[in-house]
Amino acid sequence: MLSLLSWIYSRGIALRNYLYDKGIFDVHDLGVRTISVGNITVGGTGKTPLVAHVAIKMAAEGEKVCILTRGYGREDENKRVLVSDGESVLVDAATGGDEPVELATKLLGKAIVIADADRVGAAGWARRKFGITAFVLDDGFQHRKVKRDVDIVCIDATDPFGGDKMLPAGRLREPVQNLARADVVVITRVEQATDISDLRSQISDRAPDAVVIECRTHLLGLEPLGDKQQPSNAKILFAFCALGNPDNFFGLLRQSGVNVTDVRRFRDHHQYTKADIDELEGAAREAGANALVTTAKDAVKLADEQFSFPCYIAEIEIELDHPDALFAGTA
């Protein structure tokens, strides 16, 4: 049954792409420099840190930057929400979405963040209201309604093509050969893979004109969640997260020398409850941990929760082997 559903889904994707390729479906120019950051699989590929990196780089070039994102998992994905005006985060994660609020928190002073399924409409509104000179499309590879100057696609080195099967049997959003549309392919989480030479060859075969960049993720440290907690001196940690690919987060912690005694996985975009917090604290104590650790994406949904157990945020940064090539193909 899953194979049949995947075949039906793939036919639908092929038809949609054909209609865009032939100009039957309209593609809208947002009127200013536009860079898309997306992926070809569902689940976590390390896209959000790269979106932030692109926005910071564009802001440093003097652009008035706006991130356009759908904001999966928020209360009303069809409602336009100004997540940040560039100076303040204006909504919580339930209203704006966890990833948009994470981006807004990281990019204060550098980018405006808008969550809206209608990114063309949101872009026009943002240009009129804020004088935007550059847009970053978050999760934009399949959003072909918007013309972009550069198409950046993230490929996770630890699970690049989701079993080479289309949804729902696998994790591919569209066939791997569609990487040919990409201008830049960023291989993320290279530090967690043993050898990516074969992956680079596969990418080059499917996207011969694309620039290929390797991206490594580094753990900077552990920051306390909330103002009342002190900087971490915890030695044994219980890790939890609600990500598309949680094992990459746990792997990064362990690879960085963090003593993780046990872990707990939640579904991507999970909204935490007090019962979840109580359960996590109980599980951490039972596992012999003396603190909890989670991600920045999860932290924006936990800021108002009361913890009786120390909880810390894993702060990360990304490193590109050829950062100057990131905007290859831009006008």
Q: At 22, which CATH number? A: 3.40.50
For 260-273, the pLDDT digits (tens) are 999 999 999 999 99
Domain boundary among 209, 236, 263: 209
Pair (258, 178) in one structural domain: no
φ, ψ of residue 173 in degrees (nearest 5): -80, -30
The answer on 146 and 10 residing in a single domain is yes
Pick from 73, 105, 67, 65: which is nearest to 315 by CA?
105
Distance CA(262)–CA(265), nearest Å, equals 10
Examine the domain organization and report whether 304 and 190 are in the same domain.
no
Statement to judge: residues 53 and 104 lie in one domain: yes
Per-residue model confidence as pLDDT tens digits over 276-310: 999 999 999 999 999 999 999 999 999 877 898 89
Residue type, 173: R
> Is residue 168 within 8 Å of 9, Cβ to Cβ?
yes
pLDDT of residue 331: 43
Reported as type and span, the H/E element at residue 216 is: strand 211-224
What's the confidence (pLDDT) of residue 329? 56
pLDDT given for residue 129 in this prediction: 98
Question: Looking at the structure, do residues 189 and 263 belong to the same domain, yes or no?
Answer: no
Note whether residue 113 is domain-resident.
yes
**Is 75 within the bounds of a domain?**
yes
Q: Which of 137, 105, 102 is nearest to 123 (CA)?
A: 137
Which tens digit of pLDDT belongs to each residue from 177-199?
A: 999 999 999 999 999 998 999 99
Q: Select the more confidently predicted residue: 230 or 16.
A: 16
Angle at 229 between CA 301 and CA 73, to 5 degrees: 5
Q: Are residues 77 and 200 in the same domain?
A: yes
Position 230 confidence tier, pLDDT thresholds 50, 70, 90: low
pLDDT at 73 over 90: no
Number of separate domains in the chain: 2
* Domain membership flag for residue 324: no
Q: Within this chain, do residues 111 and 170 fall inside the same structural domain, yes or no? A: yes
- 217 pLDDT band, cuts 50/70/90, is very high
Write out the residue range of the structural domain in which residue 133 sits: 2-209
> Do 163 and 69 share a domain, yes or no?
yes
* Alpha helix segments (H runs only) across 98-178: 98-106, 119-130
Same structural domain, 202 and 259: no
Q: Which of 152, 177, 209 is the last residue of a domain?
A: 209
Bond into 310 cis (ω within 30) = no
> For the segment 76-95, what is each residue's pLDDT rounded down to a tens digit?
988 999 999 999 999 999 99
| Same domain membership, residue 309 and residue 162 | no
Domain finish residue from 182, 209, 236 = 209
Q: Give yes or no: residues 204 and 247 share one domain.
A: no
**pLDDT tens profile 109-144:** 999 999 999 999 999 999 999 999 999 999 999 999
Q: Is residue 254 part of a domain?
A: yes
Q: How many CB atoms lie within 10 A of CB 17?
A: 17
50 contacts 319 by C-beta, under 8 angstroms: no
124 and 154 both lie in a single domain: yes
Amino acid at 28: H
Q: Give the distance from CA 87 to its chain's centroid.
A: 22
